[in-house]
Amino acid sequence: MREIIFDTETTGLDPRAGDRLVEIGCIELVDRRETGRNFHAYFNPERDMPMEAEAVHGLSIQFLSDKPLFASRVDELLEFLGDAPMVAHNAAFDFGFVNAELVRAGRPALDMSRMCCTVQMARKLHPGAKHSLDALCTRYGIDRSHRVKHGALLDAELLAHLYIEMTGGRQIGLGLGAEAAPASRPVAASTAGVVSSRPYREPRPHAATAAELARHTEFVATLNQPLWHDSP
């Protein structure tokens, strides 16, 4: 089954009030495994960038001024999305902005039946708990130490890991072959050919130390008539 995990960054909270999409990041999953394919793009919003929004994602209007308009990459985006279900955190927000841009570009809006919201999933799984992406990554042990500001592709990568865990869990990057693990593992390759990687961490040793074994032997010697000494 093919699914698209995606996230957006915007100039504000409401496309009906003139706020625009400025970044989208999409990760492809097949059978709940990352394939390495993604779509990532920045867009010129053709308007100013409020300070509050820039403080969240760090995208200034100076940075975005030479980026393409949404309409110039809409065909590429739609081809990548295909007809796959689309997963987002607080999905109604992201769908609202993508659909507003699609309509502005003269394209049909996405069918909302394709939408899967991980916030709604989290509310059912963990009622009463915090449901932000950061809080859920902490709950599921997903490393987000490299996340300084919001970014659509980075947040989509974190959400892909979270979605896999929330839907049953699967060790990401698990290899069953005899080869030794590489020094680093690719996490995602952008459409520009940039590959981000994270260092491979060797498993922690869990065997008892010599000192621990000695203390255990001393403790066992103090037991009075242990059961395993009884005759059958």
DSSP track, 122-172: HHHHSTTS--SHHHHHHHTT---TT-SS--HHHHHHHHHHHHHHHTT---T
Q: Is 52 annotated as a binding residue?
A: yes
Q: Is 7 annotated as a binding residue?
A: yes
**40, 89, 131, 150: which is the annotated catalytic residue?**
150
Q: Is 229 a catalytic residue?
A: no
Q: Is 3 annotated as a binding residue?
A: no
Q: Is 57 annotated as a binding residue?
A: yes
Going 67 to 72 to 78 to 80, the CA torsion angle's sign is negative
Asked if 9 contacts 150 with a C-beta cutoff of 8 angstroms, the reply is yes
**Residue bearing tokens 């659509």:** 152
Residue 114: closest CA among 158, 148, 82: 82
**Cβ-proximal residues to 21 (8 Å cutoff; 6+ apart), any chain:** 8, 9, 10, 15, 43, 45, 70, 97, 98, 100, 101
Q: Is 9 annotated as a binding residue?
A: yes
The token duo for 209 is 């130390």
Instruction: State which amino acid sits at residue 176.
Output: L
The token duo for 8 is 């957006």
Binding residues for a divalent metal cation: 7, 9, 155
Binding residues: 7, 9, 52, 57, 155
Active site residues: 150
Binding residues for substrate: 7, 9, 52, 57, 155
